[in-house]
Structures are given as structure tokens and as C-alpha cells.
């Protein structure tokens, strides 16, 4: 890092990340629904509002903002045919062997540890809610990066919730979250 290097103000990155998601038709409420489904079996009294709060918190991280902006802007540039014909074709068809989208979003998934990767694998396979909708509108749009970005944001928010709940100890596979909570509060 150079001594006189200039950094863009974090609030500008945050605004741009929020703007791009909205511009591409993704509401944070839709991501919250996925987070809710990921965590509802583990957290008592989980609400959509609490899921939404956690997505907003995830989006305050600079590495998350960088990934959201980079990925969505690549989708937009591909739609405008701004890359070489080779790369445009890969991106517009979301070619099966193109995996840079999944790699880029690891910087979102990994923010809250390895549990994020498990959650991401799950949503990537099932494509719930808005992720499925993005996947289905690939004929008109380039959604190569944004579907993974949405999945990664949901996975990271779910992990953030899990980590803020010490009673849901991942290691206690034989007890329900409620039982392990009661166990840990006996003494
Ligand atoms: Ca891919
Ligand atoms: Ca993708």
C-alpha cells in the first residue's frame, strides 16, 4: 500500500452497492426472506426485520461492497456488449464452465467464517425466491454475477445471525438449538 494512496469514502461504496442492487430489481426484503428460511429452524422468534437488519450490517463491510459493485457492474457491461465477443458470450450465456462469479462472491461468503460457505452451497443448489427469479430471467438480462451475489449476501447474513446466537453451537449436532441453550444455562 502506497503512503499517499487515496481511498474512496466507504459511504460512497455503500450507496453504490445499494443503488446497483435496486437498479437490478433486487430488494433487500427479498434477500431477507432467504435468510429467514436459512435460520428459522435454529432461532426462536426470528423475524424478517431482524434478517433485514443483518443484511444491512453485512453490506457495511468494504470487501462486501467491493464484490457487489464489481459483480453487478460486470453483468451490466456484458449486457451493453462492452467486453470482447468471447467474454460477452461467456457472460451472456452464463456458461456452465465459467466459475469466476462463484469465486468473486467468496469474499462475501467468508466474512463470517466457514458456516457461510455451507449456507451458500445450500442456496446455490436450491435457488430459492429471488435467486430463482434472477435465474429465470437470464434470456433478457445478464445475471451471471448477481445471482451469486444475492446468495452470498443471504449466506453471510445467516452466518452473522448464527454467530450472534451462542446457544446455537454448531458442534452440538445431537441437540436441538433449544436444548443446547437450556443445557448451557443450567449452571
Ligand atoms: Ca458461474
Ligand atoms: Ca452465476
Question: What is the residue-level pLDDT of the chain in tens, covering all 187 positions?
Answer: 566 788 888 899 999 999 999 999 999 999 999 999 999 999 999 999 999 999 999 999 999 999 999 999 999 999 999 999 999 999 999 999 999 999 999 999 999 888 899 999 999 999 999 999 998 888 889 999 999 999 999 999 999 999 887 654 444 333 344 444 444 444 3
CA distance 113 to 55: 16
Q: What's the 130 CA to ligand 2 centre distance in angstroms?
A: 13
pTM of the model: 0.86
- d(CA 6, ligand 2 centre) in Å: 32
Predicted pLDDT of residue 167: 54
For residues 108 and 58, is the Cβ–Cβ distance under 8 A? yes
**Closest ligand by atom to 144 CA:** 2
- Measure 124 CA to ligand 2 centroid, in angstroms: 9
pLDDT per position as a tens digit, 117-138: 999 999 999 999 999 999 888 8
Compute the distance from residue 18 Cα to the ligand 2 centre, in Å: 19
Determine contact, residues 112/160, Cβ cutoff 8 Å. Answer: yes
Predicted local distance difference test score (pLDDT) of residue 159: 95
CA of 21 to the centre of ligand 2 (A): 15
Q: Which pLDDT score, from 0 to 100, does residue 166 have? A: 60
Q: In angstroms, what is the C-alpha Rg of the chain?
A: 18
- Give the closest ligand to the alpha carbon of residue 75: 2
d(Cα 86, Cα 184) in Å, to the nearest integer? 57
**Collapsed DSSP state (helix, strand, coil) of residue 132:** helix
CATH number of 14-165: 1.10.3760.10
Q: How far apart are CA 161 and CA 116, in angstroms?
A: 11
pLDDT of residue 169: 45
Amino acid at each position: 500500500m502506497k503512503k499517499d494512496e487515496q481511498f474512496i469514502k466507504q459511504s460512497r461504496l455503500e450507496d453504490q452497492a445499494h443503488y446497483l442492487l435496486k437498479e437490478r430489481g433486487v430488494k433487500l426484503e427479498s434477500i431477507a426472506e432467504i435468510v429467514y428460511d436459512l435460520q428459522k429452524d435454529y432461532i426462536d422468534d426470528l423475524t424478517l426485520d431482524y434478517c433485514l437488519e443483518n443484511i444491512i450490517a453485512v453490506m457495511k463491510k468494504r470487501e462486501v461492497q467491493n464484490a457487489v459493485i464489481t459483480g453487478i457492474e460486470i453483468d451490466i457491461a456484458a449486457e451493453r456488449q462492452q467486453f470482447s465477443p468471447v467474454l460477452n458470450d461467456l457472460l451472456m450465456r452464463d456458461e456452465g464452465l465459467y466459475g469466476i462469479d462463484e469465486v468473486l462472491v467468496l469474499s462475501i461468503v467468508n466474512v463470517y467464517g466457514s458456516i457461510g460457505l455451507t449456507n451458500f452451497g445450500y442456496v446455490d443448489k436450491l435457488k430459492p425466491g429471488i435467486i430463482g427469479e434472477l435465474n429465470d430471467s437470464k434470456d433478457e438480462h445478464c445475471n451471471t454475477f448477481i445471482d451469486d451475489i444475492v446468495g452470498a449476501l443471504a449466506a453471510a447474513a445467516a452466518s452473522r445471525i448464527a454467530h450472534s446466537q451462542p446457544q446455537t453451537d454448531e458442534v452440538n449436532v445431537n441437540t436441538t438449538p433449544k436444548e443446547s441453550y437450556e443445557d448451557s444455562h443450567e449452571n
